[in-house]
Amino acid sequence: MTCNFTLDFWKEEGWYVGKLREVPGVFSQGKNLEELKTNIKDAYDLVMQETVPTPVKRI
């Protein structure tokens, strides 16, 4: 499944800094826009791993 999100970004002290508007807590930075997009995808994956509960094996 593909999800589309809005990336709000700005330039700060030589870095591109961004956050996903629809997903609180997902933010990153990069030396250029391509690096920012790669890093924001990684940040999204990490947040989703933390928020999705791990299935518990029933006995």
DSSP secondary structure string for all residues of 17-59: EEEETTSTT-EEEESSHHHHHHHHHHHHHHHHHHHSPPPPPP-
φ and ψ at residue 3, rounded to 5 degrees = -115, 140
Q: 59 lies in a domain?
A: no
Q: 56 lies in a domain?
A: no
Chain segment 36-55, per-residue pLDDT in tens: 999 999 999 999 887 766 66
Q: 1 lies in a domain?
A: no
Which sign does the torsion angle of CA 40, 41, 46, 49 carry?
positive
Q: 55 lies in a domain?
A: no
Q: 27 lies in a domain?
A: yes
Q: What is the pLDDT of residue 5?
A: 96
pTM: 0.79
Mean pLDDT of 17-25: 96
Q: 21 lies in a domain?
A: yes
Instruction: State which residues form the domain around 42.
Output: 7-48
Sheet of 15-20, strands arranged across: 7-12, 15-20, 27-30
Mean pLDDT of 8-20: 98
Q: What is the pLDDT of residue 54?
A: 61
Question: Looking at the 3D structure of the chain, how many domains does it have?
Answer: 1
